[in-house]
């Protein structure tokens, strides 16, 4: 919560700029923000219904960039102007990634956005504090802030600070001045409607040797925020739940898009309940970000997306029998023609159907052989079936060994030869696509129209399988709570069949998550760990349907405390990749096992 600092102490040296950049997420193609800020911004904009209209003019800037901006402005518009309108190097909140300049899409994107005063702006302004934002330079405070009014310039400070400043009608400088008067012995006590807080400041002067010392809001002061009573349990976060990091998802989408050519588009692969993340929330989020091609495995999944997005292309990758032709046609879904027999049956129903044709380039799963142009060509002649895409699938694009690369290159050549052959016969193959996530990361030079991204969007790429190193962040984390604690004497057994017994006197924590939530029952025999109190602790014994056991030794854990199954706590992280490795499977399986009974909560 201590985010009322203008200069970020941890990232003050130029050589650390690249390090700092890694901790930011892309929120659009130009703008990077701290994840905490990006999440709050996502929530703020969607609550106000401004997804389409709001654009972001700037986010993070390095010290070097700020220096250039300052110098250029001085040269162009004079010293006075520059120092009235441009924040100085090391005094700009842009270095922290916490400032947002907002604009209206399609309007002049100059930093002065005169249009940002319509109904949406008013709506967003009215509830800015609830999402942790303050208006940085209000009109009536220009004397205090020393800079002209900037009605579009918001800054994230966290909901608590924003609420206090809003109630007291303070700008940052006034708030900071007030906080300076609070000390450990005389903290500011505040009730935010749910919880009591104590706030005070402490000097960290001994470690500061910088010119910024002495100014009001800088790294010479540490702000302490202490909760005085336990945080109320948020709705849904009671037994076991999945958190979806909206900032990470947006960041991954933009990172992948930036890595593609302008002509390429993402086809978001959301089969298996969006790889266990939750189909509806993920499809809705991606739709709002402008994704308009989706792929799924079943009719049911396609219908969930169609309900949320009336215009997107939704391709069903799996088998759909002809008896669904009417519904497919009415909902304008795109089918994969999984065999000539199915294609003929679909054609005979008389309903107009849109489809993509798979080409077998070596996986031997679906489609006619790439070399058999006659067999491929006859699909395009079927009445009532309009083929708008032609695709294939790489069967070992995630394998970087030389032999595997030879196989993949052969697949690629067969595919493009088939496409060329079809074109030669005067057939339009429609949109061409070949790569999944690893196909894109390891063969980025291919110029297909669509890239089918599943696991990369969800940020679970194995480094050693990927040649392109993109900064992709995990979207899902899995959380549970301690339901009970048991002291066990050495040799005492716990759980079904006493499969496990305490190797020495210890404490077992009983977690409120089990195999019917989607953890493999075998994982407690395979060294899978969870995070409690920021420490790794092993699952032990036979996992139950809705509960499991952890040996926590002498950790001072308490009932009700949060436990991380997948995700980060303190300095420790457990990834889906780690769990997949330990349980002898692959990440898509680990994630797609996560059951629907766990609430999906966007953070
Ligand atoms: C599942 C699937 C994908 C997505 O694969 P990722 O490796 O998760 O990106 C792409 N194409 C097809 C045909 C698929 O079945």
pLDDT tens profile 171-196: 988 988 888 888 889 999 999 888 89
Q: Hey, how many other C-beta atoms are within 10 angstroms of the C-beta on 563? A: 23
Q: Is the pLDDT assigned to residue 3 strictly greater than 70?
A: no
Return the SS3 of 532: strand
* E strands in 228-371: 240-244, 265-269, 293-296, 313-316, 334-336, 353-360, 368-369
pLDDT tens by residue, 351-386? 999 999 999 999 999 999 999 999 999 999 999 999
Question: Relative to the CA of 588, which ligand 1 atom is closest?
Answer: 8
Binding residues for substrate: 365, 545
DSSP state of 523: G
State whether the Cα torsion 316-319-325-327 is positive or negative: negative
CB-ligand 1 contact for 268 (6 Å cutoff): no
pTM for the predicted model, two decimal places: 0.87
State the pLDDT at residue 59: 65
Average pLDDT over residues 302-307: 98
Q: Is 435 in the pocket of ligand 1 (CB under 6 A)?
A: no
pLDDT at 17 over 70: no
Instruction: Identify whether 271 is a catalytic site residue.
Output: yes
Nearest CA to 252 among 273, 235, 268, 241?
Answer: 268
Question: So what's the pLDDT on residue 6?
Answer: 37
Q: What is the pLDDT of residue 204?
A: 64
Q: Which residue out of 390, 451, 454, 588 has the highest number of ligand 1 atoms within 8 Å of its CB and is therefore the one to mutate?
A: 454
* Ligand 1 midpoint to CA 267 (Å): 10
List the single range of 11-15, 41-45, 498-502 with lowest mean pLDDT: 11-15
Mean pLDDT, the chain, whole residue set = 88
Going by C-beta distance under 8 Å and a sequence separation of 6 or more, which residues neighbour residue 90?
7, 12, 63, 66, 212
CB of residue 439 inside a 6 A radius of ligand 1: no
pLDDT digits (tens, 9 = 90+) for 557-574: 999 999 999 999 988 999
Ligand 1 contacts CB of residue 393 (under 6 A): yes
Domains of the chain, start order: 17-172 (3.30.1380.10), 180-235 (no CATH), 244-465 (3.20.20.10), 476-574 (2.40.37.10)
Distance CA 391, CA 397 (A): 15
Q: What is residue 375's predicted lDDT score, i.e. its pLDDT?
A: 97
Instruction: Write the residue with the smallest CA distance to atom 13 of ligand 1.
Output: 393
Angle between helices 373-380 and 340-349 (to 10 degrees): 10
Query: If you measure from the C-alpha of residue 361 to the centroid of ligand 1, how many angstroms do you get, rounded to a whole number?
Result: 15
Q: Where are the beta strands (DSSP E) in 150-296?
A: 150-156, 188-191, 196-203, 221-227, 240-244, 265-269, 293-296
Helix axes 246-259, 35-48, angle to 10 degrees: 100
Lowest mean pLDDT among 110-114, 170-174, 297-301, 346-350: 110-114
Q: Which atom of ligand 1 is nearest to the CA of 438?
A: 7
Residue 422 CA, ligand 1 centroid: distance in Å: 24
Is the minimum distance from the CB of 441 to ligand 1 under 6 angstroms?
Answer: no
C-alpha span between 170 and 209 (Å, rounded): 30
In degrees rounded to 5, what are phi and psi of residue 600? -100, 120
CA distance 520 to 184: 48
The more confident residue out of 56 and 297 is 297
pLDDT tens-digit series, residues 136-166? 889 899 888 877 888 888 888 888 899 999 9
- What pLDDT, on a 0 to 100 scale, did the predictor assign at position 10? 41
Degrees, nearest 5: CA angle 555-557-562: 125
Ligand 1 center–CA 554 separation, angstroms = 44
Nearest CA, atom 4, ligand 1: 454
Question: Rounded to whole angstroms, how far apart are CA atoms 57 and 51?
Answer: 15
438 CB under 6 A from ligand 1? yes
For residue 496, indicate whether it is catalytic: yes
Ligand 1 contact via 59 beta carbon (within 6 Å): no
Compute the distance from residue 451 Cα to the ligand 1 centre, in Å.
10
Instruction: Name the more confident of 337 and 104.
Output: 337
The residue annotated as part of the active site, out of 141, 154, 271, 515, is 271
Residues for the chain: how many in total?
603
């Amino acid at each position: 919560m201590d985010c009322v600092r203008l200069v970020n102490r941890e990232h003050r040296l130029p050589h650390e700029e690249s390090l700092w950049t890694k901790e930011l997420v892309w929120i659009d193609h130009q703008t990077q923000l701290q994840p905490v800020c990006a999440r709050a911004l996502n929530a703020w904009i969607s609550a106000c219904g401004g997804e389409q209209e709001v654009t972001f003019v700037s986010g993070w800037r390095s010290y070097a960039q700020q220096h250039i901006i300052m110098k250029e402005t001085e040269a162009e518009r004079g010293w006075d102007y520059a120092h009235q309108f441009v924040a100085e190097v090391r005094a700009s909140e842009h270095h922290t990634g916490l400032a947002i300049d907002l604009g209206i899409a399609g309007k002049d994107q100059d930093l002065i956005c005169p249009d940002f005063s319509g109904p949406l702006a008013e709506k967003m302004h009215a509830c800015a504090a609830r999402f942790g934002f303050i208006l940085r330079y209000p009109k009536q405070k220009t004397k205090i802030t020393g800079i002209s009014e900037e009605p579009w310039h918001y800054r994230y400070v966290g909901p608590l600070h924003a609420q206090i400043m809003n109630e007291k009608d303070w700008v940052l400088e006034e708030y900071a001045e007030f906080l300076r008067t609070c000390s450990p012995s005389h903290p500011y006590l505040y009730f935010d409607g749910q919880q009591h807080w104590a706030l005070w400041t402490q000097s960290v002067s001994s470690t500061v040797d910088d010119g910024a010392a002495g100014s009001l809001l800088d790294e010479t002061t540490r702000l302490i925020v202490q909760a005085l009573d336990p945080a109320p349990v948020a709705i849904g976060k009671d037994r076991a739940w999945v958190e979806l990091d909206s900032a990470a998802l947006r960041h991954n989408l933009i990172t992948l898009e930036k890595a593609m050519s302008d002509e390429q588009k993402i086809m978001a692969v959301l089969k298996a309940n969006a790889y266990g993340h939750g189909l509806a929330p993920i499809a809705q989020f991606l739709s709002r970000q402008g994704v308009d091609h989706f792929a799924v495995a079943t009719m049911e999944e396609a219908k969930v997306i169609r309900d949320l997005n009336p215009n997107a292309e939704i391709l069903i990758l799996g088998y759909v029998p002809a008896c669904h032709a009417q519904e497919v046609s009415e909902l304008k879904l795109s089918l994969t023609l999984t065999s000539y027999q199915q294609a003929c049956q679909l054609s005979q129903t008389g309903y107009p159907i849109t489809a993509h044709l798979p080409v077998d380039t070596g996986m031997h799963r679906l489609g006619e052989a790439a070399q058999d142009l006659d067999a491929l060509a006859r699909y395009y002649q079927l009445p009532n079936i309009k083929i708008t895409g032609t695709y294939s699938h790489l069967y070992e694009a995630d394998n970087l060994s030389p032999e595997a690369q030879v196989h993949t290159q052969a697949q690629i050549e067969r595919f493009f030869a088939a496409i060329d052959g079809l074109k030669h016969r005067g057939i339009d193959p429609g949109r061409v696509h070949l790569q999944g996530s690893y196909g894109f990361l390891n063969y980025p030079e291919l110029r297909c129209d669509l890239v089918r991204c599943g696991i990369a969007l969800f940020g679970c790429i194995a480094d050693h399988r990927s040649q392109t190193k993109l900064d992709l962040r995990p979207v899902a984390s899995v959380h549970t709570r301690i339901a009970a604690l048991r002291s066990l004497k050495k040799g005492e057994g716990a759980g079904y069949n006493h499969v496990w017994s305490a190797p020495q006197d210890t404490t077992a924590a009983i977690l409120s998550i089990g195999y019917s939530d989607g953890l493999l029952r075998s994982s407690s025999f395979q060294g899978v760990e969870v995070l409690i109190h920021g420490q790794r602790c092993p699952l032990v014994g036979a996992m139950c349907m809705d509960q499991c056991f952890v040996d926590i030794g002498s950790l001072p854990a308490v009932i009700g405390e949060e436990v991380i199954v997948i995700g980060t706590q303190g300095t420790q992280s457990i990834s889906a990749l780690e769990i997949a490795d330990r349980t002898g499977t692959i990440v898509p399986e680990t994630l797609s096992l996560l059951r629907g009974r766990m609430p999906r909560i966007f953070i």
